[in-house]
Structure 1
């Protein structure tokens, strides 16, 4: 066992899922009755999720067929689009913004909404949340998702884990005891990961492109090296060696599966890591340039703006302003 790192997964796709750590999260338990409709706003770079604890509701996402959600279903709206949850089609057309309903804040990240819209309709209890994922691997995965992902209440063996977690969320939502909001938020994060894993397993196009490359035995190994250690002075030859391939065969297969050349992907990945570092760490710009493989701040700044569309300084200033 000497020399093995037990925390490094031999599964590059599993490592990408490991990076799905949620930040900037907010969770809401909604107890709705009557002819109710709830409009969720556009939230840039956020992923909304919804699960029905009791009752039923309709979920309407622009450009997608309306879906009915029942207990045991779990829905993701990955790209921050505005959308509507409602008792029926009529209520959906006149939905109330979630911001206009009174919130009882249990904590700074968890609120309860109790709303009776009046009239005939359905009683429903929902657990919803909006989360962000800052790691580049997580963001890249989310960008590949369709506008709506629904894992339904199917009773197949692959869904048993999700059903168990949903049952725990339902119990906590019905009888919110001390610490219950902490349990629900952590379980919700698990549900998001389980839903993404289910989508990858059951969607043919998830077996191609970047996700397919992660699942390729050799190219996946090289991608894992880049993701784990983006600041290494990688060469095509070194990455080909890690994949046990010749340089030419590795370059051709990498480009075929990933859609970018090896060095283009490495440069892009480093800029994404640098972007998130500027948002989360108080790092000296010269050090960040060095980590990203540049000898000067000026060269790093030009490459950063070319890759992200903004300068490193503007990212830092925005982050500082958001914290004041």
Structure 2
């Protein structure tokens, strides 16, 4: 077996967090006055982010205990589940798209709503991930993540980032949308870090496997080089383990065999190439080592449930719909 050099540092979980680069679907600066309630519809494949710039709010999800939010707090709904933001639990909520909104740019709006009482200001965003590592991580997060910036070990970072984001949202200078998106990247990573540090659920399954010193090393190599002709022996060598021990441990931690994971990862990468980067089918097949488009298409449909052409058409209709 090839033992990795002792000076080589591998941070598989850190690499997964690196892929949390978001594409903004829409941003909204909300100016509320009590009593107020805002109902956000389900947005599949999106993560919803709420920052309380001033005042107070409550986050309500069906089946979950309402969560109080104060100025400086951050709330994330990772899987785009429909939810409500209110001045008090149980307040009647108007639908997001039923309220008048001032369009500041193609994807940036200002919303004003409420009964004239205690004010609250929030920055809300719906963002999408294209990289499969980011999508898989988001799928494993709880229904909602709430970060109290005053109690967080990253309090100073969060406070400064929130202030910067609020300032950008108020003025929306040239490049403001890009600034807000990159600042949202930072906030999401900080929130996920806190979840990993405090929640036992973050130490099992895919996230737990990434944190395993040996299995995580092999997973990182798969993520970096999906086109490589991986074998079980080669992956075991990366982990500095015997073939049988590696195979058993990988399956136990990840929930599927190493070679199944390789195949699934390749097809998730291919889906992103076809939908986000508009890579031609022949090129995607070649880049992943397939000898023919037909073989690639069969594998793609087996893992993604649709043909490559159908996946691309679905993406195009979503962009133009």
User: TM-score scaled to structure 2, two decimals?
Assistant: 0.91
1:293-308 to 2 correspondence within 5 Å?
293-308=289-304
Q: Which 5+ residue runs of structure 2 have no aligned equivalent?
A: 1-7
CA distance in 2, matches of 1:24, 1:177: 15
Please say which of residues 286-295 and 202-211 is displaced more in the overlay: 286-295
Q: Please show how residues 91-170 of structure 1 align to structure 2 within 5 Å.
A: 91=91, 94-115=92-113, 117-118=114-115, 121-170=117-166
Q: 1:291 aligns with which of 287, 294, 301?
A: 287
SS of the residue corresponding to residue 132 of structure 1 reads strand
8 A Cα contact 2:66 2:89, kept in partner: no
Instruction: Flag structure 1 segments of 5+ consecutive residues without an equivalent.
Output: 1-7
TM-score where L is the length of structure 1: 0.90
Q: Match of 2:173?
A: 178
Q: Measure how far apart 1:240 and its partner are.
A: 1.2
Q: Secondary structure at the match of 1:89?
A: coil
Q: 1:265 to 1:158 in 2, by over 3 A?
A: same
1:291 and 1:171 mapped to 2: Cα distance? Answer: 43
**1:53 alignment counterpart:** 53
- Does structure 2 retain, via aligned residues, the 8 Å contact 1:27–1:185? no
Q: Please give the per-residue CA displacement for 1:55-111, whole angstroms capped at 9, x wherever unaligned.
A: 1011101111101110121111111111111111342xx211111222222222222
What corresponds to 1:4 in structure 2?
none
Q: Which deviates more from structure 2 when the two are superposed, residues 281-290 or residues 241-250?
A: 281-290
1:259 CA displacement? 1.2
* CA distance in structure 2 between the aligned counterparts of 1:183 and 1:85, rounded to whole angstroms: 24
1:172-230 Cα distance to aligned partner (Å, 9 max, x none): 45x52634554333322211121112111211110111111111111111101000110
Alignment of structure 1 residues 166-315 onto 2, 5 Å: 166-173=162-169, 175-176=170-171, 178-179=173-174, 180-315=176-311
- Alignment check: 8 A CA contact 1:271 1:292 kept: no
Aligned length, in residue pairs: 312
How far apart, in 2, do the equivalents of 1:33 and 1:19 lie?
37
2:149–2:158: 8 Å Cα contact kept in structure 1? no
Note if contact 1:106-1:181 (Cα within 8 Å) is conserved in structure 2: no
1: CA distance between counterparts of 2:207 and 2:253?
A: 9
Are the aligned partners of 2:274 and 2:280 in contact in 1 as well (CA < 8 Å)? no
Aligned partners of 1:64 and 1:148 also within 8 Å: no
The answer to whether the 8 A contact 1:38-1:97 is kept is yes
The structural deviation recorded for 1:157 is 3.1
For the aligned residues, what is the CA RMSD? Answer: 2.0
In structure 1, what is the equivalent of residue 27 of structure 2?
27
